[in-house]
Structure 1
Amino acid sequence: MILDDDRRRAAAAVRRLGNAVAGRVLEPELLARIAEVLEPLSAEAETARVRDKSTDMSGNERWEHFRLTGRMPEPPGDGEVIHFDPGSLVGGVYNPFGMGASHHREGDEAVTRLTLTAPFEGPPARVHGGVVAAIVDEAMAALMPTLQTVAFTGELRIRLVAGAPMGVPVEFRARLLDRQGRRLIVGCTGSGDDGVFVLAEATFIEFDPARFAGLTGGGA
């Protein structure tokens, strides 16, 4: 996957600043300087062309392969990185609000690892429950390249059995439980050093390649 280094660098810089503003006690003078620098930059950035995700996806060889064949290209090998949406909220390197997750394959599982920082805090020292749900959803979706398919979430069921810890590495493991035609039943477990904090199961629906082509701007 070829990435735009300038876009990735800008997103990382905004993300780093956001973490500092959310997680540190900054002096009023510094906060004022931050606003003075960012306000005109934001105004300039907002004059640029609006990004169209369908257009971005239409030039991706992996998506084009699925549109034409109904299957994704060769799955990642055991231990290899799973290349997912670079603009996603959870692991997208282009997303300035991203969580910094990484995905890789271990056997039949997709493994997602990350450390949650101040912007994602709910109760003191614990991750917001909605954030945990978003990570679970993407961790399950990251399994799809290993299955050589593209699918969307039809139903997501989660059980928060403990608080997800802040500031330490956590891990989510997703695996295929059953396949019922176009319906894929996927399970996921999230854990940290103190054990499991979330259990989840979801139903994913495989995309019809023709419908997918319409979403990504490809021809039918």
Structure 2
Amino acid sequence: MASTASAETNEGVATCAPPTGHVIEEVADATRRLMAAVLRTGRDNPHLARIRDTLHEIADTLDEHSPDLDTRLVEMWKGNGPTRHSPVTGVDNPIAPPLQFRGYDDGSIRGETTLDLPYQGPPAKVHGGVSALLLDHALGNANDFAGERGMTAQLTVRYHRVAPLFEPLTVAARQVSRDGQKIHTIGEISTSDGEVCVSAEGLFIAGYLARPRAE
């Protein structure tokens, strides 16, 4: 498999919605911290009942000030909303690391992230399904960057070695070719010293996902 690494000739351009400083991003970031903290604490924590009640109160407040689901879906798909709410790049989505990709002159995209306990599979290692999620999204982002957006038809993932938690990981991808409606893209997850942990090859079918719209 050819390398997806980009030449270090520039700082690249953002290929997904970057942080804007909006308070919803701070709420999402605090929720990420909360999820990791829940996993780091023990079952014998004497404050769990109080924490449970407080969290339910917070969720109730959020629900009370939320639009109906159809309206919200339309809002989420406006403009660059899909990357703001993605489970991979979403600065507004608490389950996203989030992973911020940048595009480079050679057509590749790349981003760096450090994953915590919510993404664990084997002890202190990244869950294989999480690696596949990151790569599927990275390949799609590379297609967007190349101007050839498509839906995933096939994703072949190879696990070379376990990817570590708590350490910087680089996720990179680039489009390889297009044959009619078929788009071929590759990507990889590697450690800070360049060791490839997981690689992927994807087949995408050119076209756009239908976005929710108001009636």
The TM-score normalised by the length of structure 2 is: 0.80
Unaligned runs of 5+ in 1: 64-83
Whether the aligned pair in 2 keeps the contact of 1:143 and 1:175 (CA below 8 Å) is yes
Structure 1 counterpart of 2:50? 33
SS in structure 2 at match of 1:202? strand
CA RMSD of aligned residues (A): 2.5
Whether the aligned pair in 2 keeps the contact of 1:58 and 1:218 (CA below 8 Å) is no
Assess, with a 3 A threshold, how the Cα gap between structure 1 residues 218 and 38 changes in structure 2: closer, same or farther: closer
* Amino acid in the other structure paired with 1:97: I
Deviations 1:39-97 (A, max 9, x none): 1221232343234465125642x79xxxxxxxxxxxxxxxxxxxx61101112111111
Deviating above 6 A after TM superposition, structure 1's stretches of 4 or more consecutive aligned residues are none
Q: When the two structures are aligned, how many residues end up with a matched partner?
A: 194
* Amino acid in the other structure paired with 2:91: V
SS in structure 1 at match of 2:24? helix
Indicate the percent of aligned positions where both proteins have the same amino acid.
27
CA–CA distance in structure 1, aligned partners of residues 46 and 77 of structure 2: 45
Whether the aligned pair in 1 keeps the contact of 2:77 and 2:211 (CA below 8 Å) is no
The TM-score normalised by the length of structure 1 is: 0.78
Please list, as runs of the form range in 1=range in 2, the aligned pairs for 1:129-148 lying within 5 A after superposition: 129-148=128-147
Structure 2 counterpart of 1:68? none
Structure 1 counterpart of 2:89? 91
CA deviation after TM superposition for structure 1 residue 100, in Å: 1.8
Matched, 1:50 2:88: no
Structure with greater contact order relative to length (CA < 8 Å, sep ≥ 6)? 2
Whether the aligned pair in 1 keeps the contact of 2:143 and 2:185 (CA below 8 Å) is no
Structure 2 counterpart of 1:74? none
* Amino acid in the other structure paired with 1:158: V
Unaligned runs of 5+ in 2: 1-16
CA–CA distance in structure 2, aligned partners of residues 50 and 5 of structure 1: 22
Assess, with a 3 A threshold, how the Cα gap between structure 1 residues 55 and 3 changes in structure 2: closer, same or farther: farther
